[in-house]
Structures are given as C-alpha cells and as structure tokens.
C-alpha cells in the first residue's frame, strides 16, 4: 500500500462518500461531544479534523492530516470478538499507510472528556517534537 500523503489526498476513498455523509449526520453522542468540545474548528492546538473521513476501505471517525492521526470512538458494538478482530485489521492497515490510530470508548468520552482532551494534547506535543 502507498503511504497516505497530501498528493494522494491521504488515501481518500470517494466511493464511501455517501456512507460518510450519512454517518456525519447521525453521529453518536460520544462522537458529537468529542467533535463539539475538543476537535471542531481547530480547538485542539489549531489542528483541523475531518469527521467521518473515508480512508482506504474504511470510514475513520475523525482524521487530521496535519498530525497523520485518526481517532476512533468505540461504542458497545466494539465489545464482541468479531468486531475487535476487524478493528485490529483496520488499525493495522491505517498504520501501514502512515497514520497513528488512537481509540477511545464512549464512556471515556462521555464521562471524562477532559482526560481524553489531555491525551490528545499530549499526542500533539509529542508529534510536534518529533517533526521539528
């Protein structure tokens, strides 16, 4: 697989756009909270995130090209073995093209969003140190 870069639009998959639009309009409570209070409009140290972004054959919950970061929000459906195996495959493929994948579950976001924000801020600081 080719690395994700601005020259290939970070492996954007146009075929998944209709599904992504539908998901964007029907975000879960945890996704909507993370978007509203942490990621929207450059709130996280000025970085811009995209919601429900088609990458490869997947739709990432949130993607930031400037950080090469994908954030996945795992709900109750991510607790069964079959879904966990698919999540592992998905994460491996996204990491192979250059993204870092951070996962949070619904309860982490809904019950302690400031801790989630702190984890993301620490990631940004580490990323900026590495890329200077």
Is residue 97 within 8 A of residue 2, CB to CB? The reply is: yes
Average pLDDT over residues 87-93: 93
User: Parallel, antiparallel, or unpaired: how do β-strands 100-105 and 50-55 relate?
Assistant: unpaired
- Does residue 59 sit within a domain? yes
The pLDDT tens digits of the residues spanning 41-89 come to 999 999 999 999 999 999 999 999 999 999 999 876 656 666 678 889 9
Give CA 47 to chain center in angstroms: 13
Q: Which pLDDT belongs to residue 87?
A: 87
Question: Looking at residue 30, which CATH number applies to its domain?
Answer: 3.40.960.10
Q: Which pLDDT belongs to residue 79?
A: 64
d(CA 90, CA 56): 9
Which domain covers residue 91, as residue numbers? 6-130
Q: Which pLDDT belongs to residue 1?
A: 82
- Does residue 1 sit within a domain? no
Domains in the chain, number = 1
The pLDDT tens digits of the residues spanning 111-128 come to 999 999 999 999 999 999
């Amino acid at each position: 697989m080719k690395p994700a870069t601005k020259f290939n639009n970070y492996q954007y998959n146009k075929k998944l756009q209709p599904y992504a639009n539908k998901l964007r309009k029907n975000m879960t409570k945890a996704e909507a909270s993370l978007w509203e209070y942490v990621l929207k409009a450059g709130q996280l140290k000025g970085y811009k995130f995209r919601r429900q972004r088609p990458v490869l054959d997947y739709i990432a919950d949130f993607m930031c090209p400037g950080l090469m970061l994908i954030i996945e929000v795992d709900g109750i459906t991510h607790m069964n073995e079959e879904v966990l195996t698919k999540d592992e495959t998905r994460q491996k493929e996204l990491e192979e093209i250059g993204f870092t994948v951070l996962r949070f579950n619904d309860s982490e976001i809904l019950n302690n969003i400031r801790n989630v924000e702190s984890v993301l801020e620490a990631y940004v600081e580490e990323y900026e140190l590495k890329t200077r």
